[in-house]
Amino acid sequence: MPRRLSVTEAAAWSGMAILACDDRVIYPDGSGGAASSTNATVGTGGYGECTTPSGLRVCRGPNECDPDCACVPADFMDDSVLGICANGPINDQEPWLVPWSQCPDGYLFMGKYTYCVPEEIGQMFCLHGQEDYISCTDLGSYDCAGLPEPRDCPATSGIRLCGDACGPCGPGETCRGRSNQHPYSMCIPSTGGSGCSRLDASSCPADRACFIYTVQPLDQPRADARGICLPLAQCLAAAAELPGGGECLGG
C-alpha cells in the first residue's frame, strides 16, 4: 500500500489546507464513475499510470501509485482514492497551498479541501475514473475534456478578461476562473477576494459585493457557498459581461 502520512504529517497538512484554503469544498452531487472523455491517455502524451507529462506524481488509488511518496490524498479515509505526492515537483510549482480564491488560471481544485493543483493532476484523476474529486476554480465540475483554450478575447468594459488569448493581469491581481463553464478567466484583486456566500453576501466589506459563479445545476450549491468579494463596480460588470455567467449579490 502507498505510504500514508503519519498522524503528525496529516494534521500538519490538514491544518495548512484549512488555513490556506479557507474552507472545505463540497463534493459534486452524484456518484463517481469512469470519465466519459479525457484528453489524457496512458502511454501517450507523456501520461503514465502514476505520473504526468511534467513529472508530477499521484499516489494511492486503484493502481496503488507511489508507495514511498508523502501522499496528500483527496480523501484521507479511502486508500482507493488518488492523492498527490507532496514531495517532488509539486513543491516547485506555485501555487499548491494558496487561498482558494487565488487559485490561478489553468489550475483546478482537488479533494475536500481546495488544494490548488495543475490541470495535469485533474487529468490523472480522470484516467482513474475519479474526476468527482476534482472541480474547476469556479467550483463547477471538471468534465475531463480539458479546460477551454479560446483563441479570441471578447471586448469588455467593466472587467478584464485574462489568460492566453487575453493577456496577463496587472500587479496585485490574480487571473482566475477559467472552467468548462467559463471559457475566460478574470482579473481579480490578489487580496480580500474571499469570504461571502449567497446566504451571507453582506459579509463583504462596504466597498465590495459578493460575486457567485453560475455553474452546472448540481454544483450550484457549492458555488453559492464560495462567493468572492469583488469591488462593487467589477462585481456588477462581471455579472453582466463574464462569458458563462454569474451573479452580483449585495451591491
In tens, the pLDDT along 73-88 reads 999 899 999 999 987 6
Confidence of residue 7 (pLDDT cuts 50, 70, 90): very low
Asked whether residue 215 is domain-assigned, the answer is yes
Are 111 and 195 in the same domain? no
Per-residue model confidence (pLDDT) at position 184? 97
Asked whether residue 33 is domain-assigned, the answer is yes
Asked whether residue 148 is domain-assigned, the answer is no
CA dist 24 and 217 (Å) reads 19
Asked whether residue 42 is domain-assigned, the answer is yes
Confidence of residue 138 (pLDDT cuts 50, 70, 90): very high
Residues contacting 171, CB < 8 A, separation 6+:
none
| pTM, rounded to two decimals | 0.81
Are 209 and 110 in the same domain? no
Are 117 and 26 in the same domain? yes
Asked whether residue 145 is domain-assigned, the answer is no
Asked whether residue 142 is domain-assigned, the answer is no
CA end-to-end span of the chain, whole Å? 52
Q: Is the pLDDT of residue 44 over 80?
A: no
Domain limits for position 185: 161-249
Asked whether residue 59 is domain-assigned, the answer is yes
Measuring CA to CA, which residue among 32, 37, 209, 17 is closest to residue 103? 17
CA dist 10 and 16 (Å) reads 10
Domain count, the chain: 2
Q: Is the pLDDT of residue 113 over 70?
A: no
